[in-house]
């Protein structure tokens, strides 16, 4: 584990991280993977610190893994359930931020349905803020855990061909992954129907775009499937789920275009039979989907560790 300090107070997106910082986080996370496999998983690194998980959008794996990450490092972790909080009574985001700030948390982990809301909240609190997903903007810890998964399964990221497939338009996971993977030297392809692939992403991000799965998957080392995010869609982006599966759902037949050892990934939650055939998702040799979940806890521990190093050094 490196002793490097993060120059950032917050982790709001991959966009503000350099290659060396990403690599230092992945190194640290590697150490936490080993810790998490032991029966005694508890460290005292964050003892005395308070972590609040503030989720305005539902979440299973992200919220649970941030909670486990904080607890395994010894922090006191509080989950704010927005359903029963003042937000429902009309409180603004900034009032919520200032209220929480008055309770002296040391880390706030925030998920919000609006792009930019987490950065806005970060300007009104004194503690470190981690973006656990804001609208369609960024989901930095997801991209970090995906990178850790790829690195451990393939030994490297540079030079790999990664096809990110499906609902790119509504996906903060896609955006954070494009930024991270290109920064670490991977070649990225985006594969989606025109309605789900915003024009100009190829030039903006230096990636290739495809509207056909077999062409897009040709020679890919990694096939990253995305959930069709119906809750973010206003109007109809796909003719029908059956047709979407027919053209864009990952099946063995379409996967045959990729490299024979291509790794299958999905951030979850999965829509079986929509973006991915359940049989493909469950193949333990080819699918890294449960590895991604395991790496999620370790990566979040590394992020909590990095963002509190200055605080802990000042207290020592
Ligand atoms: C993703 C999210 O919430 O952005 N899920 C996750 O964090 N595991 C992707 C999704 O919801 O499809």
Q: Is 173 in the pocket of ligand 1 (CB under 6 A)?
A: yes
Instruction: Work out which ligand 1 atom sits closest to the CA atom of 59.
Output: 3
Average pLDDT on 8-14 reads 91
Average pLDDT on 251-257 reads 98
Q: For residue 2, what pLDDT band results from cuts at 50, 70 and 90?
A: very low
pLDDT of 1 above 50: no
The pLDDT of residue 131: 98
- Give me the residue label for tokens 């970090």: 144
For residue 106, what are the contacts with CB-CB under 8 A and spacing of at least 6? Answer: 46, 49, 50, 51, 75, 127, 128, 308, 311
pLDDT of 70 above 90: yes
What's the gap in Å between 312 CA and the centre of ligand 1? 31
What's the gap in Å between 314 CA and the centre of ligand 1? 35
Closest listed residue to residue 193, CA positions, set 165, 226, 222? 165
Rounded to 5 degrees, φ, ψ at 144 are -65, -40
Q: Is 172 in the pocket of ligand 1 (CB under 6 A)?
A: yes
| Contact (CB, 8 A) for 46 and 304 | yes
What is the chain's mean pLDDT, rounded? 93
What's the gap in Å between 164 CA and the centre of ligand 1? 14
Average pLDDT on 298-306 reads 98
Q: Is 214 in the pocket of ligand 1 (CB under 6 A)?
A: no
pLDDT of 24 above 60: yes
Average pLDDT on 231-252 reads 88
């Amino acid at each position: 584990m490196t002793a490097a300090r993060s120059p950032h107070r917050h982790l709001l997106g991959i966009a503000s991280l350099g290659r060396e910082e990403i690599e230092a986080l992945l190194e640290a996370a590697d150490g936490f993977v080993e810790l998490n496999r032991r029966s005694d998983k508890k460290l005292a690194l964050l003892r005395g610190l308070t972590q609040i998980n503030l989720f305005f959008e539902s979440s299973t794996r992200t919220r649970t893994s941030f909670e486990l990450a904080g607890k395994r490092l010894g922090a006191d972790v509080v989950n704010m359930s927005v359903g029963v909080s003042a937000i429902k009574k009309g409180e603004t985001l900034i009032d919520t931020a200032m209220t929480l700030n008055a309770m002296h948390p040391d880390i706030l982990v925030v998920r919000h349905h609006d792009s930019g809301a987490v950065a806005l909240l970060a300007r009104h609190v004194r503690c470190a803020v981690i973006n656990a997903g804001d609208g369609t903007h960024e989901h930095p810890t997801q991209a970090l855990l995906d990178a850790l998964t790829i690195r451990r399964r393939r030994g490297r990221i540079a030079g790999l061909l990664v096809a990110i497939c499906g609902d790119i338009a509504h996906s903060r996971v896609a955006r954070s992954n494009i930024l991270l993977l290109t920064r670490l030297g991977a070649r990225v392809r985006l594969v989606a129907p025109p309605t789900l692939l915003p024009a100009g992403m190829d030039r903006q991000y230096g990636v290739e775009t495809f509207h056909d799965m077999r062409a897009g998957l040709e020679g890919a080392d990694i096939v990253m499937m995305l959930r069709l995010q119906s809750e973010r869609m206003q109007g109809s982006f796909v003719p029908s789920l059956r047709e979407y599966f027919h053209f864009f759902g990952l099946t063995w037949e379409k996967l045959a275009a990729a490299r024979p050892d291509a790794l299958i990934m999905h951030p979850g939650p999965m829509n079986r039979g929509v973006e991915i055939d359940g049989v493909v998702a469950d193949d333990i040799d080819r699918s890294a989907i449960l590895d991604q979940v395991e790496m999620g806890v370790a990566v979040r521990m590394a992020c909590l560790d990095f963002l509190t190093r200055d605080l802990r050094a000042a207290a020592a």
